[in-house]
Amino acid sequence: MGLLTGDTLGTLAMAIVIFLLLVDLMHRRSLWVAHYPPGPMPLPVLGNLLQVNFQDPVHSFSKLRRRFGDVFSLQQVWTPVVVLNGLAAVREALVYHSQDTADRPPATVYEHLGLGPRSEGKRRKEETASWQGQGQQ
C-alpha cells in the first residue's frame, strides 16, 4: 500500500517537472523557428512576463530598447510579441512592410462574446439596435 512513499513521490515530482520543461522547450523551439528579432531570454513557461513591469510598461520597454535596439521580441507565456520603438521602426513596419503587419492575432475573448471571425454578427446587431433606439424615445 505504500505506493507513493517519500522517495517515490519525490522522484515522480522531479520526473513531471523535467517532462514539463522539455515540453516547454520543444514548444518554444517551434515558435522561434520563425526568426524573431533579438530579445531577452525567456523563462520556462512564463516567458518574459517577469521582465515587464505592467504598472509602467513604457519604462520597461525603454530599458529593453537600450539593450536590444528599436525592434525586439518578447515571449508572453507561449505567444511571441514583437515590440517596435521609435518613429522610424514603426513607419518601416506599418508603411513599407504593411502586408506583414496588417493581420491581428485571434482573440478568443471575442469568440466567447459572439464577435469572432466566424460569428454571424447577431450580438453586435442587437447591441447596435438597442443604442440606436435610445435617441428616438
Same domain, 62 and 122: no
How does pLDDT run across 45-66, given as a tens digit for each residue?
Answer: 788 888 888 899 889 999 999 9
Q: Do 131 and 87 fall within a single domain?
A: no
43 & 80 share domain: yes
1 assigned to some structural domain: no
Structural domain of residue 94, as residue ranges? 6-102
pLDDT tens by residue, the chain, 137 residues: 456 666 788 888 888 988 888 887 777 666 565 678 888 888 877 888 888 888 998 899 999 999 999 999 988 887 888 899 989 999 998 899 888 777 766 666 666 666 665 556 666 667 776 666 665 65
| CB contact at 8 A, 40 and 11 | no
Tell me, yes or no, whether 96 and 115 share the same domain. no
Q: What is the pLDDT of residue 67?
A: 94
Taking Cα atoms as reference points, which of 93, 98, 80 lies closest to residue 36? Answer: 80
Q: How many domains does the chain have?
A: 2
